[in-house]
Chain A
Amino acid sequence: MTHPSVPPVRVRLFAGLRERAGWGERLIHLDARPGAQRTTAADLWGQLALDGAPGEENAELPATVRVAINQAFAAPDSPLAPGDEVAFLPPITGG
């Protein structure tokens, strides 16, 4: 059941994670029913089967993948709010 009045969460993937998943951005409606448990970034990783292989649904978020919520680093178990932007970041290689 969707709730059109509740803004979705924007999920973003980068670099190798984006290419493995085949998409870079997706809008996801969280379970907004009263009493529903708040979805975390790590929950979304499992629900979206971002570990890659089919059958890997609900896999744990690897320690090498960092989470950003609204463009700031966040703990994987941070609960998400409607309208948040959550990004999964593979190992950073800048400079």
Chain B
Amino acid sequence: MSTTSPVRPAPPIEVQLLEAPFQPLERLAAWQRSLAAEGPDATGSAAESHFIGRVRPTTATGEPLEALELEHYPGMTESQLRALAEACAALHGVGAVLVAHRVGRVRPGEAIVLVAVQADRRGPALRCVQELLEDLKHHAPFWKREWSGGRGTWVAGNTPL
């Protein structure tokens, strides 16, 4: 006796590290177009969830922020983001994942991270976005340095959820 389960193709995972300011809605539109071009059966796209994170205008101690500097580990950061996204996509059975993350100097108000997930239902789409965001904040090698008054201070930890 044997049981067979339908083999689902691995969902498309897109990871982007961006050195210049980006427009999250334009990135989203391009991602949606690229998925749509793969055909209606390529993803279960009845539900889609997004998160856009922007740099706040103050430091952790409340001083005016000039810029946030994002250091990363070239190679490992990309592979780790992809591994986290693949694991989250498999766990929730979602159809497609996009992660875009800034590196370098990011100014207040600019987008720093974009996470988007397409799925067949709202639950997996919403849960995968939230979990992937938390995962990347703690397990993808990025380090923030706040610049204020001409001085840079490495950030010691993540802000509360």
Mark A residues whose CB is within 8 Å of B: 12, 14-16, 19, 68, 71-73, 87, 89-95
Contact = CB atoms under 8 A, between A and B. Distances in A.
What's the dominant secondary structure at chain B's contact region? mixed
Residue among B73, B75, B144 with the most chain A CB within 10 A? B73
B76 A94 contact: no
24 contacts: A19-B154, A68-B73, A68-B141, A71-B79, A87-B73, A89-B73, A92-B137, A92-B141, A92-B142, A93-B143, A93-B144, A93-B155, A93-B157, A94-B70, A94-B101, A94-B113, A94-B137, A94-B140, A94-B144, A95-B53, A95-B112, A95-B136, A95-B140, A95-B158
Classify chain B's interface size: 20 to 34
Contact of A93 (B53, B133, B142): B142
B139 A92 contact: yes
Given A14-B143, A15-B143, A89-B73, A95 B137 contact: yes
A19 B154 CA distance: 10
A39 B155 CA distance: 31
B75 A93 contact: no
A94 B155 CA distance: 10
